[in-house]
Amino acid sequence: MLQHLWKSALLSGILAVVLGVMVLVWPAITIVVAAIFFGAYLLISGISQVVFAFSLHVSAGGRVLLFLSGAAALILAVLCFRSLQDSILLLAIWIGVGFIFRGVATAVSAISDPTLPGRGWEIFIGVISLIAGVVMLASPFESLATLSLVVGIWLVVIGVFETVSAFGIRKASKNMAEWREKVTAPSPE
């Protein structure tokens, strides 16, 4: 599993850096395009979650959560398509909340697992993500320049750290594969 996980982390990191640079180079255009794509994402995500709520074989609680999440996404999608200003504001709030959740989840998982490769980096990423989320929520609509600057910088930072983490995961994967070979190799008689 780890042998493929590092590739995902590397791709995610590279894409985040590219997107971050694009946001920094073309902030106004990027915000408008991102707001439109955000509305489309919410629409597609909402529809798929509602469909999954009725089609997946999960617990009743899981179905209810999927349905509620999908319904909320559909309502937000309608708000996004109603007004570009609403779409940009919702995007800013969504990003801020997302950074906070990701930051807390990343930091807590890294703190609770002392064997995690690149643990220090993961804790650092978590704290920085939490701070970025708070900044986004503190002034989501004050200035589009602030929004694009924070998002652009954060995407570049997280992309660099995800890329670094990818190589840590790859190294851990190789070490684990070598260990497995030693353990499963027939003993010489």
Dump pLDDT digits (tens) for 13-42. 899 899 899 888 888 787 788 788 888 888
Q: Is residue 188 part of a domain?
A: no
Instruction: Name which of 76-85, 147-156, 176-185 the model is least confident about.
Output: 176-185
Cα 131 from Cα 106, distance rounded (Å) = 13
Does residue 72 form part of some domain? yes
State the average pLDDT over residues 61-75.
88
Instruction: Give the residue, 187 or 11, on which the prediction is more confident.
Output: 11
Query: Minimal CA–CA distance to 73: which of 96, 101, 40?
Result: 40
Q: Is residue 189 part of a domain?
A: no
Name the average pLDDT for the chain: 84
Domain count of the chain?
A: 1
Domain membership of residue 75 as a residue range = 2-183
Q: Which residue has the higher pLDDT, 47 or 118?
A: 47
Residue 140 inside a domain? The answer is: yes
d(CA 15, CA 12): 5
CA 121, CA 123: separation in Å to the nearest integer? 5
pLDDT digits (tens, 9 = 90+) for 108-157: 988 988 888 888 988 999 999 899 889 888 887 665 667 778 788 988 99
* 23 occurs within a structural domain: yes
Picking from 76, 63, 134, the residue whose alpha carbon sits closest to that of residue 102 is 134
Give the separation between CA 161 and CA 105, rounded to whole angstroms: 16
